Amino acid sequence: MRPGPRSLLAAPPPGLALCAALLLSLDLRCQAVQAENVTVLEGGTAQISCKLQNYDGSIVVIQNPRRQTLFFNGTRALKDDRFQMVLFTPRLVRITLRNVSVWDEGGYFCQLYTDDTHHQVATLSVIVPPEVPTVEVKSQAVEGGEVELTCLSPRSKPPTTLRWMRDRREIPGVVSQQDNGKTVSVSNTIRIPVERRDNGAAISCEASHPALNGQRKVRHYRLDVHFAPTVRIVPPPGILREGDSLTLTCSVSGNPVPRNVQWSRVNDTLPERAETSDSTLTISRLSQSHNGTYLCQAHNNYGRAADHYMLLVYENVSLVESVKDVSVPRMVPPTSHPTSPTLSSTFLDPEDPGAVVETQSAVPYAVIGGILALLVFAVICVLIVTIWCSVRQKGSYLTHEASGLDEHGEVQEAFLNGNDSREGKKEYLL
Ligand SMILES: *[C@@H]1O[C@H](CO)[C@@H](O)[C@H](O)[C@H]1NC(C)=O
Ligand SMILES: *[C@@H]1O[C@H](CO)[C@@H](O)[C@H](O)[C@H]1NC(C)=O
Ligand SMILES: *[C@@H]1O[C@H](CO)[C@@H](O)[C@H](O)[C@H]1NC(C)=O
Ligand SMILES: *[C@@H]1O[C@H](CO)[C@@H](O)[C@H](O)[C@H]1NC(C)=O
Ligand SMILES: *[C@@H]1O[C@H](CO)[C@@H](O)[C@H](O)[C@H]1NC(C)=O
Ligand SMILES: *[C@@H]1O[C@H](CO)[C@@H](O)[C@H](O)[C@H]1NC(C)=O
C-alpha cells in the first residue's frame, strides 16, 4: 500500500474541491476500500472495482494515474466517455474503461473522504500483442551471395519473441529491442547464403507472445534469389523430312525470367519461312536448305545462356521409291527371321535412321512388287522358250518328232517345280 495524499483538494475541479473540503470537515467512522489489479489487452475494456467496507455514505472519489478525478461520488468529473460508472453500492464501486490504450496504464485510486482517508490503488496493466511481423530485405539476393533478412515486430508489450524458421528448424539471428516508451519494437536479423535452388524456398518469421495463448503470428516469406538464365531447346521427336514442319521450344529459366529469347542460325540467317513467337521457332514445310545449327539465346542482368539444335532435313522417301527398290530384291540378312523375311536391308541407310520406319510400312507393297516382277519374268521366259522351241521343232520336226515333244514337257516341268528359270533353260539346252 502506497501512502496516498491525505487530501485531494488539489486534484478535483474547483467546484468539487469546495464540496470535498466540506465533507472532509465531517467526522466519519473508520472505513476501508480494496482494489484489485487489472490486466487488459490494448483496445479492450477494463473493469476497475473498489470494495467498500463499513460504507457510511461518505464521498467516494476515483482518480486516474495522473490523479485527475474521474468520478466524484458517482458523478463524472473528467470528460472521457470511455469511463463509465457501472456500479455504486455500499459494498462495491465499479467503473469500466473502454478501448484501453497503453497510456491508460497505472494506478487508479479509490478513495473515501473520511477523517483518516483510506485509499486503495488498482493497477491497470495493458498488454499489447504483436501484429503479424514484417520482413525487410536489405539487398537483392543473388545466387552465390548472402541475403540479409530482418523480421520486425514494431509494437508489443511485453516484448515479442521473434524466431526465423525454415523446414521447422530455427535459423539463429541477431535480436534487438528498441523501447518506444510504452511499447517495444523487436527485430531479428538473419544472414543466409543463397543458391539458385533456394529461389522460392519458404521461410517464416514467427512471433510468440504471452497474449497469444500459445498461438503464433507467422509471416511467410519466399526467398527471391536472382540468377543467370539457363536455356534448353526441346528437340522434336523422330527425324525430319522435307515437307515436315518443325517446332522448336526453348525452355528458359532465370530470375528474373528473361523477357525474350532470340533465335538465330549459326553462320546464316533464319529461313524465310521461320516464325518465332515467345519461346518457339516454327518452320513449316522443311527443305534441305534449312539444314543448320539453330541457336536459342536469352539473357537477364545476371548473365546470358544459349542452347543449339542441329537441324538435318532428310530426303523425302515417297511410296513410289519404296516399291521401285523392292523390284530388285536382295537376300534376307542372317539376323532376320527365316520364315518371315523382311526387306529392311534394302532400305537401311546407316545415315538415315528414319528409313527403318518407312521400310516397315513399305514391306507388304515390296513383297507384292517382287512377286509381280517374278511372274512377269517367268511369263517372258516361258514365251521365249516356247517360241524358240517351236522354231527348233520346225527344223527337226521330220527327224526327231517324238524327242521334241519330250523336251517340251521337261521344260514345263522345270517351271512348275518353281526352280530358277535359268536352270530350266540350261537343262533344256544340254
Ligand atoms: C498490484 O500491482 C502493484 C504494482 O504492480 C503491486 O505492487 C501490487 O502488489 C499488486 N496488488 C495485487 C493485489 O496484486
Ligand atoms: C455518495 O453517493 C452514495 C451513493 O449514491 C450516496 O449514498 C451518498 O449519500 C453520497 N454521499 C454524499 C456525501 O453525497
Ligand atoms: C480506440 O482508441 C484509439 C486511440 O487510442 C482510436 O484511434 C480508436 O479510434 C479508438 N477506437 C474506438 C472504437 O473508439
Ligand atoms: C514429300 O512427300 C509427301 C508425300 O509422300 C508430299 O506430300 C510432299 O509434298 C513431298 N515433299 C517434297 C518436298 O517433295
Ligand atoms: C561457322 O563458320 C565458321 C567459320 O567460317 C566455322 O569455323 C564454323 O564451323 C561454322 N559453324 C557452323 C555451325 O557451321
Ligand atoms: C541436309 O542434311 C541431310 C542429312 O544429313 C543430308 O542428307 C543433306 O544432304 C543435307 N542437305 C544440305 C543441302 O546440306
- Each domain of the chain, given as residue ranges in start order, spans 14-127, 134-223, 229-314, 319-429
Domain 134-223: which CATH number of 2.60.40.10, 3.40.50.970, 3.40.50.720, 2.60.120.620? 2.60.40.10
**Do the first three CATH levels of 14-127 and 229-314 match, i.e. the same topology?**
yes
- Element housing 174 (H / E): strand 174-180
Q: What is the mean pLDDT of residues 94-110?
A: 94
CA of 288 to the centre of ligand 4 (A): 13
CA of 271 to the centre of ligand 5 (A): 17
CA of 36 to the centre of ligand 1 (A): 8
Q: Residue 252 has what pLDDT?
A: 94
Over 90: is that where the pLDDT of 44 sits? yes
Does residue 53 line the site of ligand 1, with CB under 6 A? no
**Helix, coil or strand: residue 337:** coil
DSSP-derived letter for residue 290 is: G
Q: Residue 391 has what pLDDT?
A: 63
18 contact partners, CB below 8 Å, separation of at least 6: none
Residue 413 to residue 418: CA distance in whole angstroms? 9
Q: Grade residue 323 by pLDDT with cuts at 50, 70 and 90.
A: very low
Ligand lying nearest the CA atom of residue 22: 2
Rg of the chain on CA atoms, in Å: 53
What is this structure's pTM? 0.60
Q: Residue 254 has what pLDDT?
A: 93
Please state the CATH superfamily assignment of the domain spanning residues 14-127 in this structure: Immunoglobulins (2.60.40.10)
* Helices vs strands, H then E, count in the chain: 6, 28
Q: What is the mean pLDDT of residues 117-123?
A: 81
Percent of the chain exceeding pLDDT 90 equals: 51
CA of 244 to the centre of ligand 6 (A): 15
Smallest CA separation from ligand 4 atom 1, residue: 316
Residue 418 to residue 429: CA distance in whole angstroms? 18
Smallest CA separation from ligand 6 atom 2, residue: 312
Residue position matching grid coordinates 518371315 = 340
Binding pocket residue ranges, ligand 5, CB within 6 Å: 266-267, 293
Grid cell locating 189: 536479423
Binding pocket residue ranges, ligand 2, CB within 6 Å: 23, 57-59, 73-74, 88
Q: Name the class of domain 229-314.
A: mainly beta
Ligand lying nearest the CA atom of residue 43: 3
Per the document, the length of the chain is 430
Cα dist from 356 to 217, 286, 367, 429, whole Å: 66, 20, 16, 44
Q: Grade residue 31 by pLDDT with cuts at 50, 70 and 90.
A: very low
Q: What is the mean pLDDT of residues 183-207?
A: 95
The answer to whether residues 261 and 252 touch, using CB atoms and an 8 Å cutoff, is: yes
Residue 279 to residue 298: CA distance in whole angstroms? 10
CA of 157 to the centre of ligand 1 (A): 18
- Using most ligand atoms within 8 A of CB, pick from 1, 33, 37, 120 the residue to mutate for ligand 1: 37
Residue 251 to residue 219: CA distance in whole angstroms? 33
Q: Residue 392 has what pLDDT?
A: 64
Phi, psi of 196 (to 5 degrees): -65, -25
Smallest CA separation from ligand 3 atom 6, residue: 99
Q: Residue 414 has what pLDDT?
A: 38
**Helix, coil or strand: residue 293:** strand
